[in-house]
Structure 1
């Protein structure tokens, strides 16, 4: 029989595993079975009587211990050591003292700074915990991006923003060693004076304005993406405190988990599933999806609301995020951190064995995630190799999630949403902002599981609001335009494939075309061409359906941290259920159409900024490989040349028409081909090519290529590329910015 753990061992376990604190969890952790459970119960009762534990229904928590991740307020001592106090202390005794252990690369911290930190309990005279910073929250200096110009007094910053009408003065001690002509990021210092130049300190030297580390900042400014929060919004966020249980359903015992990318900054959705115990629904499942209750903190017409509306959505770059909400909310109060109580709006959904949604209900609740997991570890656990974090969750959490997902895949197969296979690129950067690798993101069942759960929750939200006749914003995706379908049909026929004509188009027809191409040389071409035929999804108060997902009613509900559309849907649900006075306001309803138009535009703005940044990073990465031969496929034909998608990186480059040879090439728009007048050489979509990288321009993201081989054969005699000093003509470079982008659902 296993040894009964000591009281200290039990307390240590509860502190390290705040989401697994039921008697059953504790017994399982220490291998206690049978009659020994009675002894365990006695020890827990003693700990409770002594005030070391607090029992909440069937779980225990130590009221005098902090969760493993917490928000701290920095309070340095007289000796300069960084101490902090917890902002969410729930114990009855005095607040524990926390020592911050800075690491190389951490920003400098001072009195009053707030940080999100990971804690470890220690036994020391001066402090009870040691903390490693995850990120700083709540700071709000005005940011400036510009070119540094050295002066006798220090320097000046000339902003690169077109709308900037003044320079900034940098005192001598605040230049951070910046050199003349460097691109720098600075922040305002001192009071805002009416007379004279405002002052700023250089916080980051970005070097050459065309260097990789600068490109996302340039994109932010070029596309007019707001990246400074107004003081009023920051102050409003800083005043927020964690929501309590009042007026909410208590879901803290439910083993909800978050599953996100390994580098995720926030966790706004959690899920759990179990077999349905209703005998009338044999083989069915109950799925819970819990979403951060952003509406509780972001009230209509508040400073936070006005700024969130202005931004419309968060924007993601390889090296940074421009969030829709300040980090105090997006990275803290609205992030479903492991072991921390968080406000949420949850939906309970019942599906049958075939994955059809039978019924659902929404709850305004308080939850506590039992684990913050990433896709790779969840998939490894499913495949038989669980790590220490996933092993205790296999039977009660991970296996039921996949069982429910399998049912949903059966419903998906019947519904036939558009099944595009377009791998996404992942750009890895080093600390200096240089690209170290470009790879395609691995697509796992764990990704698809979360995607299917979120789609189901979005459908449930739309149906509920329709049933209660509440205004909402739909996610609309209309059918392709006839002329775009004709172009796709031409590409299919040129590839030896067929897309039927003369019938009402359904996604199933397009899926059959994609299935014909799968595994052939035209696989990627048909996927890209099908994507190009699609219309851009947008938001609307009118329900026009979602063609790509093959759904009649669809609304975005699952990401209110990063999309304003979801916040509107949350408010509509609050109003529909009578949950409080923070629901949909008359002003929200009055400007619903304007909001739909605005956030559709901000989404497109973010997509363009993200795409431009990716293109520039790829060009910077490839700029060191000038003259290298690479393989790819013709992905586009224009009068001025042919676009090639490179196999290794997925980057798009241009083979200019002047680089194709001395003969005249005729452009056929209908067949999407270029034909040589002398040799009869035909260059068309989908052809395999070998190219030589002639030019890579990080500032524009443009790539210029020389054609070396076409379909495995050298160019015909007399068709050598016409170049100047080894480089093709540069006139078409501007056109090289045309890229394929993945439509957002």
Structure 2
């Protein structure tokens, strides 16, 4: 069926040529933040016109009409994004609140917070709160902010560790990017112990210098607690924890499913294949050869997903809590689930040999791996077996255990045959084949026993491809019914990022046409051609950095990485709210029950996409920070040891090193690289010595010594033991300018005999 697209207002393409000032500003007003390359592409500028554009941008910036955004972006001065994270920074005499965009430049104004529907569920915000807001431009030209949701961490609160000194007690921040510590009032300081993890309020300061006063709001644990890393991550990133009493009560009323309104699928031998330590199971699979004579060599593939929508109804307390959380958050030592355990590890988990409610999809593939059709079923199923990835893979590889052995011929071999047929279609589609380097932290008895690289088995790829195809079916069915839905989208890499990739590859003498449209097949060809080269790992890393970040949206732009035109998340409703919304959409659109998508769900679907995108990124940051802290704790007793690693980041202030065995990331400060003054060459992705031209390029394998490991912040500091590469004879030497310019005294300086004080 042809893809249904929303009606768009026709906008004529601008005439090629240098725009005038007003035309350029009008474009930036509509586009928001954008880069010079994208402006030039929009107006079709080349050669001399591009140079003239750069000069026009410089003039507008000097006049205050344009402002920088990020490293290379620009926007109209005073402009704001459609949605952003903001802090409540002011209350006027009438009680009106004003917010300021976090990470904003000086040109961004404070914006009045309009009363809105978001306050009903979240409560009225106050000074110091951090909010997710929508910015709207009024007819007057000014902006107004509307609350989408309150975020967990207040702008003026810090998570820190109690440190007792001889004369004072301080709260030292656990965020390694923060240098601001707080001093506690001596009258209450004795209430806290050295090493207490506390949430503290930043007070007002009476003087200009010295640390600010602070007030402890809550003791959340101790730094020596084996679970300190996850506790810090949860509080630092404002991860919602626990459930409301109403949600817990609703979960306890859930009852076993029956056949009422469901198709009986209990005779189909579904199996769940998950990590060995998985606590919940929201997907099961089954496949067999297609018996249809017109589809010889084809397969029927079933994917059964837990019917969470049957238990989490729109507007319920469970639904409100799940929407606020957005997703489950996974740490090495604990999980903060999206749903109460009664459901996530109970009736919504496809347990072995137990009746479970399911929303399943039956897919038919031909012998070339092309999907011929599908249909959704709301049914009752019973998992025939629970297997781990390793169990299933070992059975296929000829080493079945007692549990997998009896399943090998009737269930596992048909599954693998179906996957290998589907893989033909997958290879033809050529999704992006970037290799991941995930690490698994093993914790026993509160101690980290090992850090290992996650294995990539064919069993993982089988489940992944079957889930991808089920997700495609969900998007296709909802589009066919003209139903609103939340897509999982992934934009095409920007022209600027592709140009940066081309510049980097040129330093490795690898050709990449800058004018070439980004395609997954082209990226895959590059990765395949360099897979056996010494630069394979870093090329994989740079290609990954070239990609945009996937997110949720009510508008479809396709999924570049998977090379799919229609894609939605359907297969994990236990742990992702997006999937629950898609389930409700299917139930309503296909007439599978009365508990489908409501008009209220539809009305707020754009807000929901924004809320859960923020929740996903919040969870990713928290998981990453917790992992860094656990790794730092694991390496704390190995200070002074040497390690093999690779340069994975080059900045003006130092080199980021990833260790080969643990995947730990740490910094070698540029000041510790010797007497040479190093210049950051962003095109070569290298630090280059001013005098000698010696280089520290991205991807270089090095040996380092661990100098410092700080578990409470997750910081690792290294000393470089390897030597830099010799100068590149094909590249010009960096100019001796940075220090000379700093050494030249400005004209019209201070009067004779007057010394310049130190900056504070």
Q: Does the TM-score normalized on the shorter chain lie above 0.5?
A: yes
- The question of whether the paired residues in 2 share the 8 Å contact of 1:427 and 1:439 is answered with yes
Whether 2:429 is the aligned partner of 1:415: answer yes
In structure 2, C-alpha distance between the alignment counterparts of 1:505 and 1:583, rounded to whole Å: 39
Distance 1:681 1:445, change over 3 A: same
What pairs with 1:332-731 in structure 2 (closer than 5 Å)? 332-432=346-446, 434-710=447-723
Secondary structure at the residue paired with 1:547?
A: coil
In structure 1, C-alpha distance between the alignment counterparts of 2:245 and 2:161, rounded to whole Å: 25
After superposition, the C-alpha distances for 1:87-143 in whole angstroms (9 at most, x for unaligned) are xxxxxxxxxxxxxxxxxxxxxxxxxxxxxxxxxxxxxxxxxxxxxxxxxxxxxxxxx
Whether 2:279 is the aligned partner of 1:278: answer no
After superposition, the C-alpha distances for 1:577-613 in whole angstroms (9 at most, x for unaligned) are 2122110001100000000001000000000000001
In structure 1, C-alpha distance between the alignment counterparts of 2:463 and 2:511, rounded to whole Å: 33
- The question of whether the paired residues in 2 share the 8 Å contact of 1:688 and 1:711 is answered with no
- The question of whether the paired residues in 1 share the 8 Å contact of 2:195 and 2:224 is answered with no
In structure 2, C-alpha distance between the alignment counterparts of 1:473 and 1:669, rounded to whole Å: 38
Secondary structure at the residue paired with 1:567?
A: helix
After superposition, the C-alpha distances for 1:693-727 in whole angstroms (9 at most, x for unaligned) are 111111221111111113699xxxxxxxxxxxxxx
Distance 1:712 1:684, change over 3 A: closer
In structure 1, C-alpha distance between the alignment counterparts of 2:503 and 2:702, rounded to whole Å: 21
- Superposition deviation, residue 500 in structure 1: 3.0
Secondary structure at the residue paired with 2:504?
A: helix
In structure 1, C-alpha distance between the alignment counterparts of 2:426 and 2:719, rounded to whole Å: 44
In structure 2, C-alpha distance between the alignment counterparts of 1:674 and 1:160, rounded to whole Å: 30
- Superposition deviation, residue 286 in structure 1: 0.2
Distance 1:666 1:229, change over 3 A: same
Secondary structure at the residue paired with 1:710?
A: coil
1:255 to 256, 265, 269: 269
In structure 2, C-alpha distance between the alignment counterparts of 1:509 and 1:595, rounded to whole Å: 35
Aligned to 1:741: none
- The question of whether the paired residues in 1 share the 8 Å contact of 2:694 and 2:724 is answered with no
Aligned to 1:93: none
Secondary structure at the residue paired with 1:466?
A: helix
Whether 2:255 is the aligned partner of 1:241: answer yes
Aligned to 1:42: none
In structure 1, C-alpha distance between the alignment counterparts of 2:691 and 2:517, rounded to whole Å: 43
In structure 1, C-alpha distance between the alignment counterparts of 2:282 and 2:196, rounded to whole Å: 35
- Superposition deviation, residue 495 in structure 1: 2.5
Aligned to 1:291: 305
In structure 2, C-alpha distance between the alignment counterparts of 1:304 and 1:708, rounded to whole Å: 55
Secondary structure at the residue paired with 1:709?
A: coil
In structure 1, C-alpha distance between the alignment counterparts of 2:508 and 2:720, rounded to whole Å: 21
- Superposition deviation, residue 180 in structure 1: 4.2
In structure 2, C-alpha distance between the alignment counterparts of 1:674 and 1:147, rounded to whole Å: 35
- Superposition deviation, residue 181 in structure 1: 4.2
- The question of whether the paired residues in 1 share the 8 Å contact of 2:359 and 2:378 is answered with yes
- The question of whether the paired residues in 2 share the 8 Å contact of 1:499 and 1:510 is answered with no
What pairs with 1:207-246 in structure 2 (closer than 5 Å)? 207=222, 209=223, 212-246=226-260
RMSD over equivalenced CA pairs, Å: 2.8
Segment drifting more, 213-222 vs 662-671: 662-671
- Superposition deviation, residue 439 in structure 1: 0.8
- The question of whether the paired residues in 2 share the 8 Å contact of 1:234 and 1:326 is answered with yes
The number of equivalent residue pairs is 532
- Superposition deviation, residue 520 in structure 1: 1.5
- Superposition deviation, residue 423 in structure 1: 2.2
Distance 1:711 1:523, change over 3 A: farther
Whether 2:320 is the aligned partner of 1:306: answer yes
Where has structure 1 moved over 6 Å in runs of 4 or more?
Answer: 145-149
In structure 2, C-alpha distance between the alignment counterparts of 1:662 and 1:526, rounded to whole Å: 30
- Superposition deviation, residue 183 in structure 1: 4.6
Q: What TM-score, normalized to structure 2?
A: 0.67
Gaps of 5+ in 2: 1-158, 164-172, 176-190, 199-217, 727-760
- The question of whether the paired residues in 2 share the 8 Å contact of 1:499 and 1:509 is answered with no
In structure 2, C-alpha distance between the alignment counterparts of 1:518 and 1:320, rounded to whole Å: 36
Secondary structure at the residue paired with 2:379?
A: strand
Distance 1:622 1:562, change over 3 A: same
- The question of whether the paired residues in 1 share the 8 Å contact of 2:280 and 2:345 is answered with yes
In structure 1, C-alpha distance between the alignment counterparts of 2:195 and 2:721, rounded to whole Å: 38
Secondary structure at the residue paired with 2:227?
A: helix
In structure 1, C-alpha distance between the alignment counterparts of 2:540 and 2:162, rounded to whole Å: 46
- The question of whether the paired residues in 2 share the 8 Å contact of 1:422 and 1:528 is answered with no
In structure 2, C-alpha distance between the alignment counterparts of 1:206 and 1:556, rounded to whole Å: 36
- Superposition deviation, residue 371 in structure 1: 0.4
Distance 1:250 1:272, change over 3 A: same
Gaps of 5+ in 1: 1-144, 150-158, 162-177, 186-199, 714-745
Aligned to 2:105: none
1:318 to 322, 332, 335: 332
In structure 2, C-alpha distance between the alignment counterparts of 1:634 and 1:180, rounded to whole Å: 40
- The question of whether the paired residues in 2 share the 8 Å contact of 1:210 and 1:699 is answered with no
After superposition, the C-alpha distances for 1:293-337 in whole angstroms (9 at most, x for unaligned) are 000000000000000000000000000000000001100000000
Secondary structure at the residue paired with 1:610?
A: helix
